[in-house]
Structure formats: C-alpha cells, structure tokens
Amino acid sequence: MLTDQDLPWDATPFLPPDQERTLDVLREAARSCRACDLFFSGTQTVFGEGPERADVMMIGEQPGDMEDRAGQPFVGPAGRVLDEALDEVGIDRSRVYVTNVVKHFKWVARGKRRIHSKPNAREIRACRPWLDAELEDVQPRVVVLLGATAAQALLGGKFRVTQERGKPLEDTSLAPYVVATVHPASILRAPDPETRESEGRAFVEDLRTVKRLLE
Ligand code: URA
C-alpha cells in the first residue's frame, strides 16, 4: 500500500505535455493516474464527457456507483435529475460538458452496497490538474458548480451554495460566468415529496439563469 509520502503532490506528473492536451489525450492519460490512493477503490477513472468546445461545463463532486461501473459521469440517478432539468429549460445536452472535481469513486462498504464517501481536501487537490486542463481545453462560457464540494473546491471554503445559488459570478478565473447550485443528488435525498418537488423547481430555476447567460 502506498503512503502519502510515496504519492506525488498532485496529478501534474501524469498529464501529457501542454501542446498534446486534447480531451481524448487527457482522458487516456487520466486512466493511469495514481496521484492519490482513490485509484485503489475506484473501478476506473471517470473523466469528463462532452464536446471539446462546450458552452457550459457542469462540475460535480465525484462519480457515483453507476458512473464508476460505466466509466462515464452523471449516468446514474443524479444524472437523470440533471438531464430532466436541462431538458425542461431547453439547454441542449450536446452543448454541455460534464465532469467532477474528483475522478474516482470513493466509497465505503455497507453490506453488499458501496456507499458514497466524500472526498477529502488532499484528494480534491490531487485531482485538480485534470479539471484545470479540461477547463483550458473546453473554455466554457458558463461553469455550473453542482453542490458544496464542487463550489468550495473552486471558489474557496467560505463559499455558501445556500446563499449564493443561482447568482451569476463574473469575477472568477474559471469562465466568464460561474453559477453554483445544489447537487442533483440532494434533490433525490429530500425528506418528503413536497420538498423534493420544490427543490426540483428551484434547481430548474437556477438552470434557467444558465440558459439566459448562453443567449
Ligand atoms: N454525482 C456526481 O457528483 N458526479 C457524478 O458523475 C455522479 C453523481
């Protein structure tokens, strides 16, 4: 088992040279990333997906159980919530690049089930060069941060999604506009159908703001 001392500070040594960084080359290189020890627990690296020049980049926390098996981001229940909301506001999925701040599934066993476990600061930092390279390549007009982990990883630990959700932020280095909102999985975890319904509507409203920024 590798210890923290054996691991590089972050994923930079695993990235291809600057001039070779197309999404396909990055995706291939990320398959053998060992910058943190999550490669032990995840089945495979789940790199971002979408067009090379997408207008919108949506950034979640980390792949879930289904994403880990499929090798694709947002193909499980949270992805369905996201797809439905995008459809409702009329954002064409083919204009969207989806990815995560951490590209391996971190989980703990509960019986036969693999339960999501939140990535820590070191794992997020280790994975960051992949996300920076995706941003550099895609150059989205709008970055959408899905949930507190993604928002705080990119905007700082003091950022509060509850207070800032749905507000276009223009003074970041990520993209011309950044919008933070809740993670679609949080809608699925709502305690009752009414809350789920109202949380779903609020999420759609945040994506309507994104749609307006694209017009
Ligand atoms: N949750 C995420 O944050 N990302 C995924 O890809 C799936 C679920």
Burial class (CB in 10 A: 0-12, 13-18, 19+), 163: exposed
CA distance readout (Å), 192 to 147, 197, 199 = 20, 9, 11
Strands (E), the chain: 56-60, 96-100, 107-110, 113-116, 142-146, 177-181
* 3-state DSSP helix/strand/coil % of the chain, to nearest 5: 45, 15, 40
CA of 166 to the centre of ligand 1 (A): 19
Query: What domain range is 30 assigned to?
Result: 4-214
* pLDDT at site 143: 98
Could you give the number of structural domains in the chain?
Answer: 1
In this predicted structure, what is the pLDDT of residue 7? 60
Residue that the structure tokens 């089930």 belong to:
113
Ligand 1 centroid to Cα of residue 59, in Å, is 8
Q: What is the mean pLDDT of each run of 10 residues along the chain (215 residues)?
A: 66 96 98 94 96 96 97 98 98 95 96 94 97 98 98 97 98 97 98 98 98 97
- Could you give the 3-state DSSP secondary structure of residue 144? strand
**Is 0.85 topped by the overall pTM?**
yes
74-115, pLDDT tens digit by residue? Answer: 999 999 999 999 999 999 988 999 999 999 999 999 999 999
- The Cα 213–Cα 141 span in angstroms is 8
Distance 63 CA to ligand 1 centre (A): 4
- Judge if the beta carbon of residue 48 lies within 6 A of ligand 1: no
CB 20 within 8 A of CB 29: no
| Ligand 1 atom nearest 74 alpha carbon | 6
Is the shortest distance between the CB of 102 and ligand 1 below 6 Å? no
**Chain segment 15-34, per-residue pLDDT in tens:** 999 999 999 999 999 999 99
Contact 76, 64 (CB under 8 A): yes
pLDDT score at 21 = 96
- Is the CB–ligand 1 distance for residue 184 below 6 Å? no
- Looking up residue 47, the CATH number of its domain turns out to be 3.40.470.10
Contact 153, 124 (CB under 8 A): yes
68 CA to centre of ligand 1 in angstroms: 10
